[in-house]
Structures are given as structure tokens and as C-alpha cells.
Amino acid sequence: MVCGLLMLVAAALTGCQQSSGTEERKLDETTPAPTRASGYGVVFLAIDECSSFGRESFTEVPCSSEKAAARVVARHDGKVGEGPPCPATTDFVLHISEQKPSADEDGDGAVPQGYACMRNLEAPHPGDPGGGGGPRTIVGDCVYSAGEGEVRETSCDSTGKKAPEFKVTAAVEKRTGCPASTALYVQLGGPKPVGCARPV
């Protein structure tokens, strides 16, 4: 009788354990694993993600959205002047202030200060050579005198606010590398920091 009672208790305990295990598996299968919100990408405005246009602010939006205006072509932490330059045909730069949203790329709740180099999804592209804008002056761009020792970029097709006076025709390491027709030297930055410009 004692053996029968022990077997009955053992069977009851085994049944409880199996039942408990089955319920746990069901809970595991039906309860989704916790995930953190990440917006449209793991990193705020990462490469190949898109932003909307706004006068005072911008947001990350799916590139397929009708609100999407520009795509990130490069993304760097820190300040623009202290980090790598944007690609040559960047149309504009978005400066990203440090933020502390509910989720971000490493889960610490902060988006570091940085900048995103942007390219418009549609024309115009002021960063293209001769386009009249963009954060960098590159070969093919036109400039006008903006004061003593200063020039500003303008559209080569004369559609800008100011008419072009010079066109950057080459980029070299030193001024001595410019052609004889050079009338103006323009600071470009990068491995070939001297722009050789001639009158338009």
C-alpha cells in the first residue's frame, strides 16, 4: 500500500511538472521577446535612411514615404569641422543635436551629437559640380567674390542670386600645380586642397 501511495504521489508530481512545463512553453511561444523601439533604423539617420524637410526640425522617415526628401550618404559623430568631410556631391548637411529618446542604436537612450551628409531624392542637386551649393566647393563649381579674400559658390548656369565670376577647373596639392590660366586659388580641403579657378 505504501508503494502504491508513493507511485500515486510520484505520478501526480510528474503530471504537475509536465503540465507546468507545457504552460511555460505556451507562454514562451505566445509572448513575444521584448524588443526596443528603433524608429526606421537602428541608428538615427544612418547611411541610406531618409529624412523629411522641415523649417525648424527634421524627422527620419521611410524612404518610400511621400514625406521623404533626402537620403543620408554619410553619417558621423561629433562636429562637422572636427570630423571627416562629407562626400563631394553632398547637397546639404543636417546637424544632429544630442538627444535622449526612449531608444537608440546602443540602447543607452541617447543619440550623440553628429551630422548627416544628405543628398536630395530629386533634383535640384546643389552639391553637383556647378550646382551652386552644397557644403563643399569641388572641381566644376563656380564662385563669385564675396569680399576681400572670400568667395561664395553660385550656380554656373547663372540661375543663382549672383552671377559666376570664376570656375574651379582643377584640384591640386599645391598652387604650383595649377595651370597657367589660373586667376584665383580656392581652398577646397581634402588631399588636393587647392582649387585652380579661371574667369568665366
C-alpha–C-alpha distance, residues 198 and 195, integer Å: 10
The predicted pLDDT at position 42 comes to: 72
The predicted pLDDT at position 29 comes to: 36
Rg (Cα) of the chain, in Å, rounded?
30
C-alpha–C-alpha distance, residues 102 and 91, integer Å: 30
pLDDT single digits (tens) 108-136: 556 778 999 999 999 999 999 999 999 99
pLDDT single digits (tens) 60-100: 999 999 999 999 999 999 998 889 999 999 999 999 887 76
| Domain residue ranges in the chain | 50-120, 142-199
- Cα torsion angle, 11, 12, 13, 17, sign: positive
Q: Is the pTM of this model over 0.85?
A: no
Rounded average pLDDT over 45-61: 86
Sequence-ordered list of residues with C-beta below 8 angstroms from that of 100, at least 6 positions apart, any chain: 109, 110, 111
